Amino acid sequence: MFRTIRASFRAFSTIGVVQSRKRNAWRYPAGFFLLGTGAAVWWTSKSVHADRRKQKINPSHFMALPITNVDKLENNPDDMRTRMELMIMRVQADFCRALEAEEFAGKRFTVDRWERNEGGGGITCVLQDGEVFEKAGVNISVVSGNLPPGAVQQMRSRGKKLSDGPLPFFAAGVSAVIHPRNPLVPTIHFNYRYFEVEDSTGEKQWWFGGGTDLTPYYLNEEDSVHFHKTLKGACDEHDATYYPRFKKWCDEYFHIPHRKECRGIGGIFFDDLDEPSQDDAFAFVSSCANSVIPSYLPLVRKHKNDAYGDPQRTWQLLRRGRYVEFNLIYDRGTKFGLHTPGARFESILMSLPLTARWEYMHEPKANSREGQLMEVLKNPRDWLKLEQKP
């Protein structure tokens, strides 16, 4: 109950009456602070739904207009499609503005709102050639149509029971990849998504997926612990088993088989989450998405002015090459996007860095800082030492 109420406020923190108000003034209604008794919980829960019906969506809080018609969103505030679209648009706007604030010369995101003939569209936000971020992409997509055969095959391989014939689907998600200029600042990737598929009988399947992971070029133990501890905090709000389960899944998913190494130091990753309830799953995904800024921005601020030279830059470009290999060969989201009719390839390939490097048979010295990173990439670490606890 508490998780559902908390998620409701987060999901609709981007809704406000169409009047000039400061952003934080309307984000948390007064009823939120009355929690503590059963009566207060009941009153707050009821007011959440009442406020949804009364309030109007203010597009100025987003990077662009929503993909779905605003009237439709306002008339269906409790529909999961509405809740997910508004949540990912808020996350996109908050993250873009947080990244812009780290730039020295006022560099801003280019915003590209696009539509798809087959149904839906997206908003691609890209910042290139910044002083802090060499390339940063933060995308949302809200698409619908019929599942292509390649996507159906991929889902069946994961255990999804999908009937033959046309399969209408709806998908909404936010995805970001940030490639910093300074090699001492790590790259971050996150993706959170919601999926619906309907078969010929009208039966609907739904699930959530996503995760956040970090790819440093030089290992910093304190940074790694901070990152994982923040993600664990988001997970623990909902289920104490989530972090250890999804951390292990992340290490396995972002493994590069032909290199026998991981892409980075992991984080969390999950897919096909359809329990304990739709509201609870949405609350969990919202918490994870909200944890991105506190997990990453302190690392940017800490290292963006650190000194580095050509050897560090060369190593960064070599590691970016590994990033490219994983994304183009193994990444499930990239494959789904490329298999989808009407796919927007510029947005799908937004995750690739501006520059990368490959050297023949390159191998760092074992006792070097580069070698220390490789040891962790080949042998994922329990950063929070959970396995040592009784």
Confirm if 262 and 322 have CB atoms less than 8 A apart.
no
Instruction: Return the half-sphere exposure (C-beta side, CA atoms, 13 A cut-off) of residue 232.
Output: 17
pLDDT, tens digit, for every residue of 86-132?
999 999 999 999 999 999 989 999 999 999 998 999 999 999 999 99
Task: Residue 94: name the closest of 30, 171, 25, 176 by CA.
Answer: 176
Q: Which of 23-37, 300-314, 335-349 has the lowest mean pLDDT?
A: 23-37
- CA distances 357 to 7, 35, 312, Å, are 42, 54, 13
End-to-end CA distance of the chain: 30
pLDDT of residue 47: 44
pLDDT band at 23 (very low <50, low <70, confident <90, very high): very low
* Angle at 243 (CA atoms; ends 95, 231), nearest 5 degrees: 25
Q: What is the pTM of this model?
A: 0.84
pLDDT, tens digit, for every residue of 54-69?
579 999 999 999 999 9
Is the domain spanning 56-357 CATH 3.90.420.10? The answer is no
pLDDT of residue 52: 53
Active-site entry in 179, 189, 226, 255: 189
pLDDT, tens digit, for every residue of 30-85?
333 333 333 333 333 344 454 555 579 999 999 999 999 999 999 999 999 999 99
Q: 258 catalytic, yes or no?
A: no
Domain range list for the chain: 56-357
| CA-CA-CA-CA torsion sign (252, 99, 280, 151) | negative
